[in-house]
Structure 1
Amino acid sequence: MADGTGGTSALGGGCGGGEPEVSDSLRTFGEVVKGFRRRAGLTQEQFAPRVRYSVPTVASIEQGRRFPPPDFVERAEEILDAFGVLRGAARHLSRQPGLASWFRQWARLEAEAVNLHTYECRLIPGLLQTEAYARTLFVNQLPPLGDDQIEAQWVARAERQRLLRERPNTAFSFILEEHLFLRRTGGVEVTRQLIDHVLALAEARNVEVQVMPQVQEDHAGLHGPVRLLETPENRWFGYCEGQESGQFITSSKVVSTLQMRYARMRSQALSLGDSLGLLHRMRGAL
């Protein structure tokens, strides 16, 4: 499916079901940062502006709940005079259980992106999923997942969804196929909750949701799902995910092609207003 935790994948809508990676490395890294910060006599409130991150972000990193961005590591290393310890520890970090290994690099950039574009034709992207919808995907995973694995994947999914709440200056664009809602994955009530959830998220100024109609004679997305993001340094990257693997795309030529296709799909999908109108009608028909 898609997203490294996917519908059953690793992070958001996937189906690959990456192996859970049980690791305390993030928590250990956080404790090391905390130790050096206290050694320097700094509170989180004093430290945060120096590394150019918010206090909640610093707290999340110190608690092992957030993967530290590369620039955080570099600034913290210099500010705390950490003797190279933080740089060395960062090289051995692994994500929390529930995040597929192939999705890790994309997830790290996604957390700092200023633009994030997602086209999906297989399932609702992880950022937009409800807990009931996500758990339905996890339960249907093959090979079957244990209860602890399902819980780990949901925790990773919920953590990633914080991006929509915590990054109001990031522009999120989603193009979703109409049949994703018509499939009624998980049943009528799960679908009803899902549509309500997507409609609520679409009320945010920085979130755009467009629906690609089921009948569409011209479609630029026939090559499959695609994700694009722009970094704070204004570099664009792409990502495409299969059932058991993901492709992180850095080639400017390939990224340009994906951008061209995504732009065309934006014009082929229903307008923002018409998309929300369709979702409201689908909701009423359930």
Structure 2
Amino acid sequence: MTDEVPDEGPGGSEPETSDSLKAFGEVVKAFRKRAGLTQEAFAPLVGYSVPTVASIEQGRRLPSSDFVDRAEDVLDAFGVIRAAAKHLARKPGLAKWFRQWARLESQAATLYTYENRLVPGLLQTPAYARTLFGERIPTLDDDEIEALLAARVERKKLLTDRPHTIYSFIVEEHVLRRQTGGRDVMREQTTHILDTCARRNIELQIMPQSRGYHVGLNGPIQLLETSENRWYAYCEGQENGLLIPDPKVVSILQKRYARMRAQALSFEESVSLLREMRGAP
């Protein structure tokens, strides 16, 4: 196993133009049929689920670089699939510094998130996200906001598309009490979090305001485990993000996250507090 951080390539998680995605999907489909394989037979050969293969072939999902390489090899495609992937046309949607992490995130077996500034992106409603994008400085035009919103909505599908991935969120209480977008937006946001956390693989804990100190005060933390059991960390600032592959640093952040889980409210207590914040349905 290599210690190198996966580089960006055709598998960056940035949204693609629909035409280029559809064209790539048709290429994969043509070579799959040439090989006499159904989607059900092809999926395990490349290590992806049937729904994922179907989404890629239909032009609805961006292929990872890993998928591209495996499909090329399994289908003996004369380099055509790799060549087609190089011509996937990108459009704005994810910050450049976030793409590498997003690609890892889309294939994670475990994902931990601590946030003290805003509701984590994977849990945001479109209305909440639109408020954030609409208030950015420098200001964004309508097309830029729509591109960002589309990328956010697409990314959120991870929570439903990957039911075997373990998701843990720790969010500061003040983030959930701040009326971002107004009372109605936050009520919808709170309801969405409660609905999302009803899934067996998703857990949210609230760090209470009454907790005077905890070990995460240095800033937000994200940790993930790949299917190969390799761990990475990610920390993001105002206009940059840092992907951390160093096992020693990742281990320190894992220890901090573990301590925060003990310092935060339990899952049951957090759900109870969220219901209290939301009020009567």
Distance 2:170 2:41 in 1: 41
Contact in 1 for aligned 2:116/2:220 (Cα 8 Å): yes
Pick from 53, 72, 83 the counterpart of residue 77 of structure 1. 72
Counterpart residue number, 2:226:
231
Superposition deviation, residue 285 in structure 1:
8.6
Aligned residue-pair number: 269
Q: Deviations over 1:189-233 (max 9, x none)?
A: 111111111111111111110000112123111110010000010
Write the mapping of 1:220-259 to structure 2, written as runs, cut at 5 A: 220-259=215-254
Q: Kindly provide the amino acid, as one letter, of the partner of residue 264 in structure 1.
A: R
Contact in 1 for aligned 2:16/2:88 (Cα 8 Å): no
Contact in 1 for aligned 2:18/2:60 (Cα 8 Å): no
Distance 1:226 1:94 in 2: 31
Contact in 2 for aligned 1:26/1:95 (Cα 8 Å): no
Counterpart residue number, 1:171:
166
Write the mapping of 1:1-286 to structure 2, written as runs, cut at 5 A: 26-90=21-85, 96-284=91-279
Contact in 2 for aligned 1:228/1:239 (Cα 8 Å): yes
Contact in 1 for aligned 2:16/2:62 (Cα 8 Å): no
Distance 1:144 1:22 in 2: 24
Contact in 2 for aligned 1:175/1:209 (Cα 8 Å): yes
TM, length-normalised to structure 2:
0.87
SS state at 2:206 partner: strand
Distance 1:136 1:228 in 2: 26
User: Bigger shift: 23-32 or 226-235?
Assistant: 23-32
Q: Kindly provide the amino acid, as one letter, of the partner of residue 172 in structure 2.
A: E
Q: Deviations over 1:101-140 (max 9, x none)?
A: 2111111111111100000011001110111111111111
User: Bigger shift: 21-30 or 255-264?
Assistant: 21-30
Identity %: 64
Q: Deviations over 1:152-209 (max 9, x none)?
A: 1111111111111111111100000001121110000111111111111111111110
Aligned CA RMSD, in angstroms, stands at 2.4
Superposition deviation, residue 89 in structure 1:
4.4
Superposition deviation, residue 96 in structure 1:
4.8
Q: Kindly provide the amino acid, as one letter, of the partner of residue 39 in structure 2.
A: Q
Structure 1: gaps of 5 or more residues: 1-10, 12-17
Superposition deviation, residue 58 in structure 1:
1.0
SS state at 1:237 partner: strand
TM, length-normalised to structure 1:
0.86
Change (3 A) 1:120 1:23: same
Distance 1:259 1:94 in 2: 37
User: Bigger shift: 122-131 or 88-97?
Assistant: 88-97
Structure 2: gaps of 5 or more residues: 1-12
